[in-house]
């Protein structure tokens, strides 16, 4: 309730009463000339569809793998025809579980290498249940630099509650194989605020992560999306979700744990150790998304491919881009999009902020208030969120995602080519 009020108020103050986020049906986008861009590749297949997962995914289906791969290759080709041999500053392969189609990933990466000049890291996410030595060897052969493994918990009981298809021993062996394979970084995802979980359980997971030596640990509180089946699934199990005060305490413990153990906070949720590069899926400024439901952000437009795997394949294989919805990025939106992700980073470069927002009085007042409330502080030439600030900003961002982004996604999941979605 309070969070809802805060989100609405902030949106109203910053973006204005009239400003709506409007996505409209678009078949084609005029792709401007670019010299470089980041790429996101979406692989929707999962061997085990977790009940809490909100992402666009389908059951692994051997009959769809070939057509889907051909569609992805065709979409890459179409961007190549429009953009020419430009630089690809990073590739992020997400899902779903991309490694379910390991050999096809080799073909996709090879095609990108042939057409473009890859100048940055190749990052991939996968799950502990899907990893083995053969898959890791192939990823290394394809030139993958950074890997993120969905572990979620090192406790068999919580893995069961989450509907994961492996146990803690398998999770440890998957992470160990990855860690001994010279990736530039191995991130593990953990989830907390799980039904029935207490602080000691969370600390047990963190200690396991520390012991195993992951370069980065990303800890997400379980949030339930209305369109995921987690609500139904958890109700059946009659378990109690931690409330906001428990959540607050858990985040504080997590933050302190990593600080005491020499990890540096690299996002609201992520903590990394040493000089390895930061693993991050979402903080890039502009990118092209390939695959069903993939989003693209170009300088002045944000657009989404159709979420339906079948329609994605059909549209792409007839030689067109599978774009379903687009939203123009007004100068105001561009600025706030940038700010949203800097809050996610938990620090903001003061000079960049000044360049983008000039003398924006509302923003100045907000930052002063945040400092007064102990949510942010000046740190050299940066404004940095405190631990408390990171927690509350995270709550607001979660709420924003659930209220706004969730509505776009759930509508786009129901209908392949919606006319308009307004939020």
Ligand X SMILES: C[S@@+](CC[C@H](N)C(=O)[O-])C[C@H]1O[C@@H](n2cnc3c(N)ncnc32)[C@H](O)[C@@H]1O
Helix (H) or strand (E) holding 147: strand 146-152
25 versus 160: smaller Cβ distance to ligand X: 160
Report how far residue 389's alpha carbon sits from residue 381's, in angstroms, rounded to the nearest whole number.
18
Contact region with ligand X (CB under 6 A), list: 25-33, 46-54, 171-179, 294-302: 46-54
Are 64 and 99 in contact by the 8 Å Cβ rule? The answer is no
User: Among residues 44, 54, 295, 322, which is the contact residue for ligand X, using CB under 6 A?
Assistant: 54
Q: Which residues pair with 302 in a beta bridge?
A: 297, 327
Smaller CB distance to ligand X: residue 87 or 278?
278
Closest CB 187 distance from ligand X, rounded Å: 10
> Closest distance between ligand X and the C-beta of residue 55, in Å?
5
CB nearer ligand X, residue 150 or residue 321 = 150
Binding segment for ligand X among 51-59, 71-79, 372-380, 411-419 (CB under 6 A)? 51-59
**Part of the chain binding ligand X (CB under 6 A), chosen from 21-29, 93-101, 321-329, 359-367:** 93-101
If one asks whether residue 69 binds ligand X (CB under 6 A), the answer comes out as: no
Grouping H, G, I as helix, E, B as strand and the rest as coil, residue 230 is helix
Helices (H), 266-349: 309-317, 331-345
The reply to whether 97 sits near ligand X by the rule CB under 6 A is yes
Nearest by Cα to 95 from 44, 53, 146:
44
Contact flag: residue 76 with ligand X (CB under 6 A): no
- Least Å distance between CB 216 and ligand X? 13
- Of the candidate residues 189, 205, 208, 345, the single one contacting ligand X (CB under 6 A): 189
CA-CA distance, 118 to 109, in Å (whole number)?
10
Residues numbered 207-236 forming contacts with ligand X, rule: CB under 6 A = 220, 222-223
Residue 400 in tokens: 């924003």
Question: Shortest Cβ distance from residue 52 to ligand X (Å)?
Answer: 4
If one asks whether residue 55 binds ligand X (CB under 6 A), the answer comes out as: yes
Residue of 52, 68, 183, 257 that binds ligand X (CB under 6 A): 52
95 near ligand X (CB under 6 A): yes
> What are phi and psi for residue 183, nearest 5 degrees?
-70, 155
Closer residue to ligand X in complex, CB, 24/398: 398
For the chain, the distance separating the N- and C-terminal CA atoms, rounded to the nearest angstrom, is 19
Can residue 174 be called a binding residue for ligand X (CB under 6 A)?
no
Element (H, E) at 218: strand 216-221
Rounded Cα distance between 325 and 345, Å, is 27
Using DSSP bridges, classify how beta strands 295-298 and 301-305 pair: parallel, antiparallel or unpaired: antiparallel
Residue 185: CB minimum distance to ligand X, A:
15
Q: What's the token pair of residue 137? A: 């060897």
Provide the β-strand partners of residue 191. 220
- Asked whether the beta carbons of 128 and 153 are under 8 A apart, the reply is no
Q: Check binding of 194 to ligand X (CB under 6 A).
A: no
Residue nearest to ligand X (CB): 150
**Interacting residues with ligand X between 107 and 146 (CB under 6 A):** 125, 127
The Cα–Cα gap between 43 and 60 comes to: 10
Binding footprint of ligand X on the chain (CB under 6 A): 52-55, 94-95, 97, 125, 127, 150, 152, 189, 191, 220, 222-223
């Amino acid at each position: 309730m309070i969070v809802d009020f805060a989100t609405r108020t902030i949106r109203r103050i910053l973006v204005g009463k009239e400003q709506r986020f409007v996505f409209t049906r678009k078949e084609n986008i005029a792709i401007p000339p670019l010299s470089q861009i980041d790429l996101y590749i979406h692989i929707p297949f999962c061997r085990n569809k977790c009940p809490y997962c909100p992402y666009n995914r389908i059951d692994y289906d051997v009959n769809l793998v070939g057509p889907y791969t051909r569609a992805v290759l065709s979409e890459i080709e179409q961007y190549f025809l429009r953009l020419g041999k430009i630089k690809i500053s990073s590739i992020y392969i997400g899902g779903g579980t991309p490694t379910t189609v390991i050999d096809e990933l080799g073909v996709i990466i090879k095609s990108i290498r042939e057409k473009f000049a890859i100048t940055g890291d190749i990052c991939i996410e996968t799950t502990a249940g899907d990893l083995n030595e053969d898959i890791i060897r192939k990823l290394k052969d394809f030139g993958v630099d950074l890997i993120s493994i969905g572990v979620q918990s090192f406790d068999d009981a919580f893995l069961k509650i989450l509907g994961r298809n492996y146990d803690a021993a398998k999770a440890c062996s998957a992470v160990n194989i990855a860690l001994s394979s010279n990736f530039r970084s191995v991130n593990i995802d953990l989830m907390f605020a799980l039904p029935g979980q207490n602080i000691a359980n969370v600390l047990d997971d963190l200690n396991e992560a520390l012991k195993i030596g992951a370069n980065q640990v990303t800890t997400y509180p379980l949030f339930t999306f209305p369109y995921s089946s987690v609500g139904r699934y958890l109700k059946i199990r009659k378990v109690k979700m931690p409330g906001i005060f428990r959540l607050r305490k858990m985040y504080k413990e997590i933050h302190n744990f990593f600080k005491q153990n020499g990890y540096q906070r690299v996002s609201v949720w992520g903590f990394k150790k040493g000089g390895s590069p930061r693993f991050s899926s979402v903080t890039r400024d502009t990118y092209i998304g390939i695959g069903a439901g993939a989003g693209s952000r170009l300088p002045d437009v944000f657009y989404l491919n159709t979420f339906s795997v079948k329609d994605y394949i059909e549209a792409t294989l007839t030689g067109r881009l599978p774009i379903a919805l687009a939203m123009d990025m007004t100068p105001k939106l561009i600025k706030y999009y940038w700010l949203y992700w800097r809050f996610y980073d938990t620090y903001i470069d003061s000079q960049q902020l000044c360049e983008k927002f000039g003398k924006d009085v509302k923003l100045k007042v907000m930052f002063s208030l945040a400092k007064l409330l102990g949510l942010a502080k000046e740190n050299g030439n940066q404004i940095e969120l405190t631990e408390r600030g990171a927690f509350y900003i995270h709550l607001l961002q979660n709420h924003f995602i659930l209220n706004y982004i969730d509505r776009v996604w759930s509508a786009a999941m129901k209908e392949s080519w919606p006319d308009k979605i307004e939020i």
